[in-house]
Each structure stands twice: as C-alpha cells, then as structure tokens.
Amino acid sequence: MGEQLDKIIQSSDFIRSNFPKGFKPEIALITENDSDIIKEFKIISEIDFSQITDFNQTLKKIKGKVLFAKIKGNDVIIYNGRYHFYDGVSMRDIGHTIYVLKYLGIKKIISVEEVGHLNPRFNCGEIALIYDHINLMGDNPLIGKNENELGLRFPDMSNAYDKELHDKAYEVIQSNMLKVNDAVLLGTTGPQSETDAEARFYRDIAADILGYSIVPENITAIHCGIKFIGIGLITRELVADKMMEDERSEKEKLKEQKESLKKAEKKLGKIMQDIIKNI
C-alpha cells in the first residue's frame, strides 16, 4: 500500500468511527464554510477538520467541519468548508479530501461554490448548473505517482459532470420555476479578481462562469469513480467592458456580492432536498 492510499484510509477510518448509529451515506455535499444551505439539513453530529487523522497539518489551520446530516430520510456527509488552492494548499491535499469520501462509501458528490458570471445572459443572485469545465489552474490533483487502486492513470473526463445526474438536477430547477443557467465553468487559481482582458478571453473560449474550487474536486472524483454535480452561486459580474465601467467602491461591490450570495443560497436551499431525492 502506497503512502497516499494509507493516509486516505486512515482519514476515512477516523471519520467513519464518528458516524452516528445506522448512518450510511452515499451522497456528499461540499459547500463553503457556514453556508446558509446547511439550514435545510438536520445535523446529527459533526467533527472539525482539525481532528481528522492525516489531514495535512497546514490544512488544520483552515476552518471546516464534517457534518453528519439527514434530509428527507437521506443520510448525507457535508464538508462545510473546503480547501482552496489559493490558500497554499497543494492539489494533492485537495484531492485527499475527495478520495476520503470514496472510502466512506460516497457514490455521488454535489459541490457548490461561489462564482462570477462571464455570460451576459446570467445575473448575480442566480444559480448555475455546470455541465463542463475548462481547467486553467496550471495544476491538478493527479500529477505525481498514480495509486492504481484509486483510479486509472489517464481517466476519461468526457462525462465529468455526469449527464444523467445533471439532467435530473436540471429538471428539478426547471420544475421549481427557477431560471436554468446551464454553464461551462472556467477554473482559475484566484484569489485576485480578473482583469478586463482576462474576462474577455475567458468568454471567448466559451466559459460562462468562473470559480476557484470545483475543478480539482471534480477531477479527483472522476479519477476515483464518484459521480459529480457542480453548482455555482453567482455573486460577481465578470462581463468585459462592463467591469471597467463600474465605478462603485470596493465596499459597495462587496456588499452587493454578499447580498447576491444570500439570494442564490436561498434559491438553492429551497430545491436541495428535491435534488438529493431525485439523483
């Protein structure tokens, strides 16, 4: 057994030892720390990231919890908080958190992140359903020695955002009378915002939204055979030219960004149980 696999098993064993009685999750949800979406779940118990065996020591400085939750009879593991490449966390360590879910019996992941929109037809405060991505992060969690037990050396990414699950989520959004923003996600490192030229380029290569977190999570999930749904909470406008015309202060922009996040989380929260029930 290689060192990477050994650490994954130790982390998963520790988390499993904290499972509530009879807890058998097959779905995991990944959100940012203290997301309002969590209010839709019944939280049975929780453990802090810092307690988990073999989560990298540098990661323990980052806030996050593993929540053991229920929603409409479904057991769900929630990562309430995640590791970001821009925090100096390695791609391999981000991948570690996903592989651990595999060894906990997770078959499907719903990953939610705050994004900016490049597509002028999208609006802040809405949600975007991801059907594909472009990785411009300059790195990925599979670089390095491959553990064959985790997955193939060269995994097929042609169905990265599982079409069957995507279509079911699409139907849920539509049936709840919400606008469906079907989107290609552009993954970059952050944390700085995007220049006007970058925004124009990203739109020219067919990206609809931009985020900093989902892409490495998705790559790892596909590598180890977990089906994946990606959802963006649109909080920033990254439409070229319009960005330069925006003369608001940073304080005003941040206030609107937070308001847009609340609106998007409220919309997603209302349909989360339907998404989990139908996938």
Q: Mind listing the domains of the chain with CATH numbers?
A: 3-278 (3.40.50.1580)
Give the pLDDT confidence of 15-32 residue by residue, as tens digits: 999 999 999 999 999 999
Give the pLDDT confidence of 55-99 residue by residue, as tens digits: 765 555 677 899 999 998 899 999 999 999 998 889 999 999 999
pTM here is 0.95
- How much of the chain exceeds pLDDT 70, in percent? 97
**Average confidence (pLDDT) over 251-268:** 91
CB 244 within 8 A of CB 222: no
Task: Work out the pLDDT band at 203, boundaries 50, 70, 90.
Answer: very high
Whose tokens are 């057991």? That residue is 75
User: Is the pLDDT confidence value at 218 over 70?
Assistant: yes
**Average confidence (pLDDT) over 181-207:** 95
